[in-house]
């Protein structure tokens, strides 16, 4: 059975941009664009009216508008997925955005395919953040020193460490399963064990500790046999 398309509401700062993005996404068939808006206020009204699965917001000229839209929309619909689009290197308040529940992020120069991957991942409850955004968004907990982080990581099994490296590299559960030749169920089991051993409550916190310990990330990009292989967006 073909899965239902993800219902997406688009918010951008110009009608030309939101219409172009809407037409491009609609042509793919896996995404159903259920509404378009050109301001945060209209975007919030759209969320109330159509209750989409995911909101894609490209309001990069106005950080506060993007954050206000995400905050109010998530307060209205707790199961809503939010994907923000920003210029590369743009320092939107990433930590605040993630803390309020934003799970997806793409750069404005990323491919349409990367945006679709983020939309579909967020719709499934996954965190879809590029590694550079993750680095800006998180800072190690002050009570976890580098030496403590190393000790916590040392308590992981080899396979748990492999899974954590994939999370650090920005891989989804399904991508991790493919790279490590295991089922997604096994990946979820390992992730649960990792959270227990690191004494944290989310994969984001686990990634923070791994980065503090200097654990290298693993992804399709780092495992690529040559630079000619097209990198996949995390």
Cα separation, 191 vs 76, in Å, equals 30
Lowest pLDDT segment from 47-51, 62-66, 142-146, 175-179: 142-146
What SS3 state is found at 114? helix
pTM above 0.95, yes or no: no
Q: Is the pLDDT of residue 74 over 80?
A: yes
Cα separation, 34 vs 46, in Å, equals 9
Pick the CATH number of 146-212 from 1.10.260.40, 1.10.10.10, 1.10.510.10, 3.40.50.10470: 1.10.10.10
Q: What is the pLDDT of residue 208?
A: 80
Residue bearing the bigger pLDDT, 50 or 91: 50
CB 52 within 8 A of CB 4: no
Q: Is the pLDDT of residue 135 over 70?
A: no
List residues bridging with 26 in a β-sheet. none
Residue bearing the bigger pLDDT, 149 or 59: 149
CB 131 within 8 A of CB 204: no
Q: Is the pLDDT of residue 161 over 90?
A: yes
CB 18 within 8 A of CB 38: yes
Cα separation, 150 vs 17, in Å, equals 46
Q: What is the pLDDT of residue 220?
A: 57
Which are the contacts of 114, defined by CB distance < 8 A and separation ≥ 6? 106, 233
Residue bearing the bigger pLDDT, 69 or 182: 182
Q: What is the 3-state secondary structure (H, E, C) of 126-194?
A: CCECCHHHHHHHCCCCCCCCHHHHHHHHHCCCHHHHHHHHHHHCCCCHHHHHHHHCCCHHHHHHHHHHH
Give domain limits for the chain.
Answer: 6-137, 146-212
Instruction: Domain 6-137: state its class.
Output: alpha beta
94: left (phi over 0), alpha (psi -120 to 50) or beta: alpha
């Amino acid at each position: 059975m073909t899965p239902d398309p993800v219902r997406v509401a688009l918010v951008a700062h110009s009608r030309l941009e939101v219409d172009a993005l809407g037409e491009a996404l609609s042509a793919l068939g896996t995404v159903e664009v259920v509404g378009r808006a050109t301001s945060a206020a209209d975007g919030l009204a759209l969320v109330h009216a159509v209750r989409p699965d995911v909101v894609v917001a490209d309001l990069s000229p106005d950080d506060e508008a993007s954050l206000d839209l995400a905050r109010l929309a998530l307060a209205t619909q707790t199961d809503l997925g939010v994907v923000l689009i920003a210029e590369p290197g743009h320092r939107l308040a990433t930590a605040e955005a993630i803390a309020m529940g934003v799970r997806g992020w793409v750069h404005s120069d990323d491919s349409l395919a990367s945006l679709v991957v983020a939309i579909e991942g967020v719709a499934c409850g996954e965190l879809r953040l590029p590694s550079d955004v993750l680095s800006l968004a998180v800072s190690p907990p002050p009570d976890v020193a580098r030496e403590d982080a190393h000790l916590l990581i040392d308590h992981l099994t080899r396979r748990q460490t492999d899974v954590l490296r994939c999370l650090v590299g920005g891989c989804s559960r399904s991508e991790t399963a493919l790279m490590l030749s295991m089922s997604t169920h096994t990946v979820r089991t390992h992730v649960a064990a990792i959270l227990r051993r690191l004494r944290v409550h989310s994969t984001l916190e686990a990634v923070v500790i791994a980065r503090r310990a200097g654990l290298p990330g693993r992804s399709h990009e780092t495992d690529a046999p040559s630079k000619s292989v097209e990198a996949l967006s995390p």
